[in-house]
Amino acid sequence: MISTQTHTLNLHGRLLNLSMPRVMGILNVTPDSFYAASRKQTEEAIIGRVSEIMLQGGDIVDIGAYSSRPGAADVSPEEEMERLARALSIIRHEYPQVIISVDTFRASVAARCVEQYGVDIINDISGGELDKEMFPTVARLQVPYILMHMQGTPQNMQDHPQYRDVVSEVLQYLGRKVDELHELGVNDIILDPGYGFGKTLEQNCELLRMQHSLLELNLPILVGVSRKSMIYRILGNTPEEALNGTTVLHTMSLLQGANILRVHDVREAVEACRIVKTITSQPHNIRV
């Protein structure tokens, strides 16, 4: 089911129209993200990655300084902010107009990133669960907020994820959180069902089959499945070999209403968006 809803995001007064699916390129400034090729720590590597995202047609750069892979080591707020500050200083100097999202669950880090570096979007894997100040902080900052579902924490989320009905529970959870955010005055909310975060392979597959259920919340949907284990466990390969499988899932998620794809491989995702949008926009009496 393709979404017929029209959404825009207010980025410090600039409007980002989501009538065409958008691609968010991943930039990890961590030493231990699950996909090694996404790790960029030197100034040259950071500039090169942002340039690559833009040249390949990406719309947003998502910067993460805290690895959320299962079993990853904890990182202090000070170290997370130090990593982000260095990367953001470089990017804002070289590419002042690029749209930047910061992947953090800490309110203090989110505030500094927005206030000191003009970050446009906050991407919180915990849905405000790991820092109760996140919702009030986002309300004060008035930036778009990516609300993701996760069962547990990055350290234990894959131990024993359990649901009676994963689709309805994720939908109900996101609905409750949206109500909380609206009460605080947060209007630009993006939903992320949280593929791979506290979910088994079977639960991820069921959630993707029924992703269109999220459309009833009338908010844009972000999907992050790029090179994740739900692909390489099915195929019996590795994250490095999971590009083709990623494109398949991107196509499925776009057909289920996704507005933003968070990806490692920008060019391939942009092409998937263009093909799906073109074919599904054609009148039924025209052959393509």
47-78 pLDDT per residue, tens: 999 999 999 999 999 999 987 766 557 789 99
Residue 36: strand, helix, or coil: helix
Q: Is residue 203 predicted with pLDDT exceeding 60? A: yes
What CA–CA distances, in Å, run from 151 to 105, 181, 227, 246? Answer: 14, 19, 20, 23
Alpha-carbon gap, residue 234 to 186, rounded angstroms: 38
Specify the CATH number for 19-68+75-281; select among 3.20.20.70, 3.10.20.30, 3.20.20.20, 3.30.470.20.
3.20.20.20
- Helix pair angle (134-141, 107-117), 10° resolution: 20
Ramachandran region of residue 257, left (φ > 0), alpha (ψ -120 to 50) or beta? left
The one-letter amino acid code at 254 reads L
Per residue in 132-186, pLDDT (tens digit) is 999 999 999 999 999 999 986 665 556 567 899 999 999 999 999 999 999 999 9
pLDDT band at 288 (very low <50, low <70, confident <90, very high): very low
Which candidate, 240, 232, 160, 153, places its Cα nearest to that of 194? 153
| pLDDT at residue 30, as a whole number | 81
* Sequence spans of domains, the chain: 19-68+75-281
Which candidate, 265, 261, 268, 267, places its Cα nearest to that of 60? 261
Spatial contact of 225 and 195, defined as CB atoms under 8 Å apart: yes
Tell me the two tokens of residue 69.
């892979």
Spatial contact of 87 and 65, defined as CB atoms under 8 Å apart: yes
Beta bridge partners of 198: none
Per-residue pLDDT averaged across 228-232, rounded? 93
Radius of gyration over every alpha carbon of the chain, rounded to an integer in angstroms: 18
287: which residues sit within 8 A by CB, 6+ positions away? none
Alpha-carbon gap, residue 19 to 101, rounded angstroms: 19
pLDDT band at 31 (very low <50, low <70, confident <90, very high): confident
Mean pLDDT of the chain: 91
Q: What is the model's pTM?
A: 0.91
Q: Is residue 207 predicted with pLDDT exceeding 60? A: yes
| pLDDT at residue 157, as a whole number | 55
- 219 vs 154, more confident: 219
| pLDDT at residue 112, as a whole number | 98
Q: Which residues are catalytic?
A: 228, 262
| pLDDT at residue 155, as a whole number | 57
| pLDDT at residue 182, as a whole number | 98
